[in-house]
Structure 1
Amino acid sequence: MADKTFRLDVVAPDAQLYSGDASIVVAQTTVGQIGIMANHEPMLAELAPGGCVVLTDDAGVRKALAVQGGFLSVTADTVTVLAEAAQFSDDVDVAAERAVLDSAAEGSEDFLRAKSRVRAVEAVS
């Protein structure tokens, strides 16, 4: 199965959140959603505000991360997510984030952060 996986690193300024093999990564970029599989063409994309990144590891387990800004870099055999901030969906209090969505001004930093966290939870629900 090695030819159907690639190296994935997800890093933020304060932590390395994931480092291992993956079979697919789906990310929301400023130009739309993109899926990356093994042998994808090299590219660089800006991650969308309020977006999330979903990965499927080499064991077939799906994991989602709320990602606030940053970049997605694809090389011949590695994908790197360089996030300004990121958090696994398992660590999100969905009720609290939905309350923020209801009270925060649309497009504000708080709104986009909450939107990102809710999207990550919904992506693996």
Structure 2
Amino acid sequence: MATFFLEVLTPDRKFFSGEAECVIFKSSDGEMGVLAKHAPTVSAVSVGPLRINAQGKWIEAVVTEGFAKIMPDKVVILTDTAEYPEEIDINRAKAAKQRAEERLQKKLSQLEYMRSKTALARAMARLSATNRRR
């Protein structure tokens, strides 16, 4: 299968850099899969799973909001955070989920509501990734 160069970058680190056969991430329009020679585009990246097929093996991760620049021979994903399942602190993710759910039960401004929904989505994506690892 044809490959392309993939970089997944966060403000803190170069999360992934190398040849990939496929990358799948959640976008604002739903799940998006990219193969080599994809038409050039830019897409928003949403909180959720990131799956990379590199050297015939699938790599699972979780990312938060960001952008993907897709070119025929290169994809660059810029995201706030990216974590492998083994890097996720399950207790911290559970506590974050509970806090977000509690905040959503209160009367909130529109901004606070959106922040709480984002925090809940992030916590649930992190917990989902750790559950798949088991």
Opposite residue 65 of structure 1, the aligned amino acid is A
Unaligned runs of 5+ in 1: none
Contact 1:72/1:80 (<8 A) preserved: yes
The SS at the match of 2:80 is strand
CA gap of 1:67–1:103, structure 2 versus 1, over 3 A, is same
Bigger mean CA offset, 38-47 vs 85-94:
85-94
Moved more, 64-73 or 26-35: 64-73
Asked if the contact 2:93–2:126 (Cα under 8 Å) also holds between the matched residues in 1, the reply is yes
**TM-score, normalization: structure 2?**
0.77
Taking a change above 3 Å as real, the CA distance of residues 123 and 46 of structure 1, as seen in their structure-2 partners, is farther
1:57 maps onto 2:54 in alignment: yes
Identity %: 27
Aligned residues: 121
Deviation at 1:77, TM superposition (A): 0.3
Relative contact order: is structure 1 or structure 2 higher (C-alpha 8 Å, sep ≥ 6)?
Answer: 1
- Aligned residue identity for 2:119: D
What TM-score results when the alignment is normalised by the length of structure 1? 0.82
> Paired residue for 1:112?
121
Higher relative helix content: 2
Q: How does 1:5-84 map to 2 (within 5 A)?
A: 5-48=3-46, 50-58=47-55, 60-84=56-80
Root-mean-square deviation over aligned CA pairs: 2.1
- Is the 8 Å Cα contact of residues 101 and 115 (structure 1) preserved in structure 2? yes
